[in-house]
Structure 1
Amino acid sequence: MISRPFMRLMSTKVPKQFKSIVYSTHSVEDVGSVLSVQNYTPKEDLSKAIVLRTLAFPINPSDINQLQGVYPSKPEKTLDYSTEQPSAIAGNEGVFEVVSVPKSESSLSEGDWVIPVHANQGTWSNYRVFSKASDLIKVNGLDLHSAATVSVNGCTAYQLVNNYIDWDPSKNEWLIQNAGTSGVSKIVTQIAKAKGVKTLSVIRDREGFESVARTLEEKYGATRVISESDNSDKAFGKEQMPKILGPNARVRLALNSVGGKSSACIARKLDQDALMLTYGGMSKQPVTLPTSLHIFKGLTSKGFWITENVKKNPSEKVANVRDFIKLYEEGKIISPKDEITTVEWDVNNTSDDELLQLIREAVSATGQKRMVRLKW
């Protein structure tokens, strides 16, 4: 078992004012322009509430889509933050430390690390308030990067692998996925490996392909990595795929987060009566599947959205996180810290203007995922 990186921080007094990054309007062209920093007095009676201070929050594509106004799930805008117009706190994901908890809430202690059960709670803030412990999940045992991102990437990967196929680890069973270098895909390969399920990850053609493929296989547990060129090559599929998969192989599940040609090509590699789950569309191209796969192979194609799944069954997310922590503690899932660029919000010394600039730069940045770590 690996050592536990979770550690309780020094206790802190609950402040009279909170600071949050809020928005009241939307913009597709300039997402950062709708953000502002707001200082306000919380409306809740803090002596009777669970008060959390933020340790870190990632900036996810869904957060940006909400700021653009194009995401299907949106937080309610209110006047609770002393704004002129109804506003919402940005962000859907983050990890927090409990700094104050009523005596009636025996399931939480000061110093516990927690994440919200539901989305749309607003996480880009120095402090947040919750009224019920049942709306929070303890994540003691994870490091900062894993805890801050388990709600979206971790739970998505866990459900994709575990919720749809009754795997038989004694047989040669596979899943195939595109966007093999994505955060979700890397966790999928690790969870699948822990279950005895083999993974075929497809990644885009690039310079240094062999090095990237080797990292995915050796560090993240992918069984085999192929390129999109290989994925779309009919000759490769006919001649090389049987050698890669081995005897009596069944490719039972395809995980699609790209769409377009890539999705059709991974679907073609599925076995009889298999399933394809679409949980993203990076190419912004529609999912178009051959008619023959439905008629002659009995293909089922479904969509997957973690936000809706949690809304329907929040207790499942609690169980997912507990299982994820166990896998992490057993060394079967590694921290995503190498895949994330961290920027720092010095809570005591960063001015509001500096904070707003920091957030705007993080929102507009390309490349690695951004995470804001609060320095207390």
Structure 2
Amino acid sequence: MSQESLKFKSLLYSSHDSKDCTNVLKVHNYTPNVSADSSIVLRTLAFPINPSDLNQLEGVYPSKPEKVLDYSTEEPSAIAGNEGLFEVVSVPSGVKTLKPGDRVIPLQANFGTWSTYRTCDKESDLIKIEGVDIFTAATIAVNGCTAYQMVNDYIDWDPNGNDWLIQNAGTSSVSKIVTQIAKAKNIKTLSVIRDRENFEEVAESLENKYGATKVISESENGGKEFGKEVIPKVLGPNAQVKLALNSVGGISCANIARKLSYNGLMLTYGGMSKQPLTFPTGLFIFKALRSHGFWVTQNSKDDPENKIKTVNEVVKLYRDGKIISPKEDARTLEWDVKNASDEQVLQLISEGIKTKGGKNIVVLKW
């Protein structure tokens, strides 16, 4: 790819807005100040719009890219987006593990994925992805790795026992992957979801399609009689509830913690209720409750090799049919690279940011 043909279009930001993060985004066209002879050139195939991306634009996320003057802008800027799928366009001499046509994802966050093209200096900063669709590959680094590491990296499971995990936000993308990974390992799952009119329909889908063992409502999760009378029958004899996965916080977190067995572990990876974690004191004294935070971004920084291993393991689960592609649940936003105006691109992304419920994935039409 010649230097003259390197024309990039990226969604940049140079400031933050905690109330409406679409205000800080702008579409910028430029020629990168790198040579195609010295950098790996990538074209973007798809990227999700994740909560962490929006938190970065709002200025409230702990991990954020450095704002630089590399994009021919008047003030230091960063390219939005942490996660996405790319196709290798060209590689400089000396690159051994990649070739044009390979599909890759960034090893680390803050890569700047909301762009038509990107460049990368080191092949070790990319993970090759094969044998899965673009929706799976574009979302595997955050949701897939989060689910896999929480299930696999903290608990010594007994595949022949009656081992359980409990989680709130049972309809979330991560929770659906958790139940499928757990089922493949013979771990039973108790998923808690919000009370709703179509509860039975949603519960049936989570159980039959996504492998949850049992789905209960938040009101049942908090009911004392339900906890005493029904939950033991659901769990069965000699049950060990070893792990609780919390992405809600508040009273929901306390209620799933109560169902943990002795020396059980609570992992918190989100706080959708924006309420603090509250635990009954007796859980720590009499049940030896352990509580830790989980952040896949930091895990990837601390142990890049485990991130690569995790991606490969999750890809295998998708290939083997153990996890369903997120395509069915995704809201696809098509970016027509050749025909869409800058205003249309910005409108498309703004729509994805503001439309709630379900995963928004931008797919680039080349």
TM tier, smaller: over 0.9
- 1:204 is matched with 194
CA RMSD of aligned residues (A): 1.0
Does residue 152 of structure 1 match 2:151? no
SS in 1 for 2:277: coil
Contact 2:36 2:92 in 1 (8 A): no
* Cα displacement (A) at 1:48: 2.0
- 2:306 is matched with 316
- 1:3 is matched with none
1:271-297 deviations in Å (ceiling 9; x for gaps): 001100000001110000000000000
SS in 1 for 2:232: helix
Q: 1:107-256 to 2 correspondence within 5 Å? A: 107-256=97-246
- 2:341 is matched with 351
Does residue 275 of structure 1 match 2:265? yes
Does residue 97 of structure 1 match 2:117? no
- 1:307 is matched with 297
1:201-230 deviations in Å (ceiling 9; x for gaps): 000100111110010011110011111111
Large movers: runs of 4+ above 3 Å: none
* Cα displacement (A) at 1:41: 1.1
Measure the CA separation in 2 of the matches of 1:69 and 1:151: 22
Does residue 262 of structure 1 match 2:252? yes
Does residue 83 of structure 1 match 2:73? yes
- Of all paired residues, the percent bearing the same amino acid is 65
- 1:50 is matched with 40
Does residue 35 of structure 1 match 2:35? no
* Cα displacement (A) at 1:13: 7.3
SS in 1 for 2:263: coil
Whichever residue aligns with residue 160 of structure 1, its letter is: M
1:203-261 deviations in Å (ceiling 9; x for gaps): 01001111100100111100111111110001001000111001110000000000000
* Cα displacement (A) at 1:363: 1.2
Whichever residue aligns with residue 308 of structure 2, its letter is: V
SS in 1 for 2:101: coil
- 1:70 is matched with 60
Measure the CA separation in 1 of the matches of 2:305 and 2:246: 26
Measure the CA separation in 2 of the matches of 1:371 and 1:214: 26
Contact 2:37 2:93 in 1 (8 A): no
Whichever residue aligns with residue 346 of structure 2, its letter is: L
| Normalised TM-score (structure 2) | 0.98
Aligned residues: 365
Whichever residue aligns with residue 129 of structure 1, its letter is: T
Does residue 364 of structure 1 match 2:354? yes
Unaligned 5+ runs, structure 1: 1-11
* Cα displacement (A) at 1:103: 3.4
- 1:374 is matched with 364
1:83-127 deviations in Å (ceiling 9; x for gaps): 111000000000000111123112112111100000001000000
SS in 1 for 2:276: coil
Tell me which moved more, 12-21 or 54-63. 12-21
* Cα displacement (A) at 1:16: 2.2
Measure the CA separation in 1 of the matches of 2:151 and 2:364: 33
Measure the CA separation in 1 of the matches of 2:224 and 2:243: 20
